[in-house]
Structure formats: C-alpha cells, structure tokens
Amino acid sequence: MTVITRPTPVELLPDPVRRDTSERYERMRSVVPEVEWLLYAPYVAAINQLKAERNAVVLAHNYQTPEIYHGVADITGDSLALARMARETDAEVIVLAGVHFMAETAKIVNPAKTVLIPDPAAGCSLAESITAADVRLLRQQYPGAPVVTYVNTSAEVKAESDICCTSSNAVEVVDSLDAERVIFLPDQYLGRWVAGQTDTEIILWEGSCIVHERFTPEEVRRFRAAYGGDIEVLAHPECPPNVLEEADFVGSTSGISNRIETIRPSRVLLITECSMASNLAADHPDVDFVRPCNLCPYMNAITLPKILRSLETMTHEVTVAPDIAERARLAVDRMLEVGRGRAG
C-alpha cells in the first residue's frame, strides 16, 4: 500500500529556492508561518543572489518585518548601529531597509557609496516636524545654546546642528557638551526623558513619533492586570512620560534588546514598534512577547518586492548636496566620537 502524504508548504518551493533560503527561514520560523514563507522565499533567494552580483549589503532597522530583518539583511540594528556600520562597510552599494533619514545618514557618513532606499516615501513623523529654517530661528531665540539633534531628521536639519544623537546615546551626548542649556530636537518626549537624567536645561521642540505617542498608561495597566503582574514592561523613550512611568525599564531599541538578553524575563510587554517584537520573539523563543501592535507605516512601506526592484534597477538613489552633507557629517561624526568603543 502506498500512502501519499500532502507536501508541507515549504516542500512546494522549487529546489534551488528551498536550498538557498532554508537557513534564513529557520531563524524566523517561529514568527513566519510556512504558508507566508511560500510567498517570501522566492524574493529572499533572488535578493540574496543579486546582492552578491552588485556587491551590495542590506542594512535593516529593528522595525523591519521579520522576512526582511531575518531574510535579507546583512547588518541589523538600531539607528546608531546602522550609522556606524554604514560608515564601515566595504560594499559598493548600501540598500537601506529602513526610513529615509537613515538612508541619508548612511550617505552622509559614507559618501563614496551608492545608497538606495526601496521606497523614497518611507519618511518619519519626527523628521517631518522640523525644517532647517526652524533650527536657525531657534538659534536666534536661544543664543549660545548648542543644538542637539536626534538622527530622525533631514540632512538639512542635521547640517544646522552642533551634534546628533540617537535614543541610545542622547543623555551621553547632552552631557558631553558641558553646557548650561541645550536645544534638543525634535522629539519632545525623548527630550523630556533626557531632561530627567541630566542637570542640563533642555529646550524642547514639539515633534513626536506617531507610533510611540499612541501608547497610553491605561493600556499598560490593562496588560499588567491581565497577566497578574508577571510581566516585564519595556518602553522606548519616544513614548509620552505618563506611559514611561508605568514601565519597569525605559531604553532605546538596543537598550531593550540588551535588557532582554540580560534579565531573560519569562514574559515581556513591549511598548515600542510591533515588528521589533516579532524579530526579538524569533531570537528568543523562550520568552513570551505580549505586543500591542503599533506598526510604523513608514517602516512598513519597505517590502521584499521593493527591495528586489531597488537592486534590479538601482533605484531610488539617495543623494545629499555636498555642502549640506559636509556640515551634517560634522554633527553625525561628533556623535559617533562620543560613543566610540561602547556598544549602543
């Protein structure tokens, strides 16, 4: 008697695709069902092959979806890690799987490379909240106060700034200036969080992240109540202060990952972007991730078909006018010097 068993979805993939992608799939199997992988795998195989032909690397932010983050990225990390790695890569082409300001930062720190963004509309509510003219006005209003600018800004805004920061190093950057007061742009919530940890007076701008500002303290309390207190609440400092007060730990993207590595909680409530939780869940199958799903629409504009098209057509190339790039580079390089030798 012959018993014919139905093939699993992965077994339906053509042999070369299955062979070339199986190792990548194992990294995300716990968060990407096989039926979805059936759609993703041909793109993953084609992208990884084209990267080699083009001498390209894909840099992916932690907020990219798992099929990108685990499937085609060569380098993954938060804004700070991506800026550092963009400066160091030997590849000729950098494909930035993230948002536009990250691609601009890569071009600023490594101008000789071709930097591509798969969708130029992948913006950021923080970057859109402020212009270079706004920064010049603030300087007139607060003469002598140095301008500390979150990397989530355009190249033009960076060019008007004294130094950049990310959420990983914001306090360290502010303290490094030894100033009585600083202008901190553009995230009001990150700025307030920094103000709570430094003696420097912080002058704020009213920008915010549309993903993190949506969390509420009631939501955090509801989750805590539902899990009987057996839950570690980790929040990103782009959240409003009344949300941060409810958290057990407040930290940047890398800070949150490191915290999970260190304390190995059995259950975590992640108060940050939702794909980050999926990527962490893939890396930590022993941890139960509770994720109120706030997805960043800008980060989600990047997809596997767009990454493939980007490599096929070498679009959309990110350029920064040389005079702007030169001034912006000073601000980014100063930031990279502050954190030198230290993990983000």
Question: Given the rule CB under 6 A, which residues bind ligand 13P?
Answer: 78-79, 152, 166-168, 209, 238, 252-253
Report yes or no: 83 and 340 within 8 Å, Cβ to Cβ: no
Among 152, 167, 278, 303, binds ligand SF4 (CB under 6 A): 152
Segment near ligand SF4 (CB under 6 A), from 44-52, 119-127, 308-316, 333-341?
Answer: 119-127
- Give me the residues paired with residue 262 across strands: none
Find the binder of ligand SF4 among 124, 130, 155, 165 (CB under 6 A): 124
Among ligand SF4, ligand 13P, none, what does residue 210 contact (CB within 5–8 Å per kind)?
ligand SF4
**Site for ligand SF4 (CB under 6 A): which residue of 86, 106, 260, 299?**
299
Cα of first residue to Cα of last residue in the chain, in angstroms, is 61
- The site partner of 167 among ligand 13P, ligand SF4, none (C-beta below 5 to 8 Å per kind) is ligand 13P
Site membership for ligand SF4, residue 296 (CB under 6 A):
yes
Q: Which is nearer to ligand SF4, 145 or 170 (CB)?
A: 170
* 3 state DSSP class of 173: helix
Q: What is the dihedral of CA 332, 337, 340, 344, to 10 degrees?
A: -30
Query: What is the CA angle 335-173-198, rounded to 5?
Result: 175
Quote the least distance from Cβ 252 to ligand 13P, whole Å.
Answer: 4
Q: Which does 298 bind (CB under 5 to 8 A by kind): ligand SF4, ligand 13P, none?
A: ligand SF4
DSSP conformation class of 209: -
Q: Which stretch binds ligand SF4 (CB under 6 A): 10-18, 48-56, 245-253, 295-303?
A: 295-303
- Window 81-100: contact mask with ligand SF4 (x via CB under 6 A): ------------------x-
- In degrees rounded to 5, what are phi and psi of residue 136? -65, -40
Q: Which of 44, 209, 243, 320 binds ligand SF4 (CB under 6 A)?
A: 209
Q: How far apart are CA 66 and CA 275, in angstroms?
A: 7
Which of these segments, 132-140, 164-172, 206-214, 226-234, binds ligand SF4 (CB under 6 A)?
206-214
Across-strand partners of 207? 187
Q: How far is the CB of 168 from ligand 13P (least distance, A)?
A: 6
Instruction: Retrieve residue 82's tokens.
Output: 């991506």
Among residues 146 and 251, whose Cβ is nearest to ligand 13P? 251
Does 211 sit near ligand SF4 (CB under 6 A)?
yes
Q: Which does 166 bind (CB under 5 to 8 A by kind): ligand SF4, ligand 13P, none?
A: ligand 13P
Give the β-pairing of 201-204 and 232-235. unpaired
Give me the sheet containing 201-204, strands edge to edge.
163-165, 147-150, 181-185, 201-204
The yes or no reply on residue 273 touching ligand SF4 (CB under 6 A) is yes
CB 170, min distance to ligand SF4, A: 13
Alpha-carbon distances of 34 from 20, 23, 38, 219, rounded to whole Å: 16, 14, 6, 32
- Residue 256 tokens, joined: 């949150």
Q: Which does 253 bind (CB under 5 to 8 A by kind): ligand 13P, ligand SF4, none?
A: ligand 13P
Q: Which tokens in the block code for residue 297? A: 């629409």
Element (H, E) at 19: helix 15-28
For 236, list phi and psi in degrees, rounded to 5.
Answer: -85, 140
Give the footprint of ligand SF4 on this chain (CB under 6 A): 99, 124-126, 152, 209-211, 273, 296, 298-299
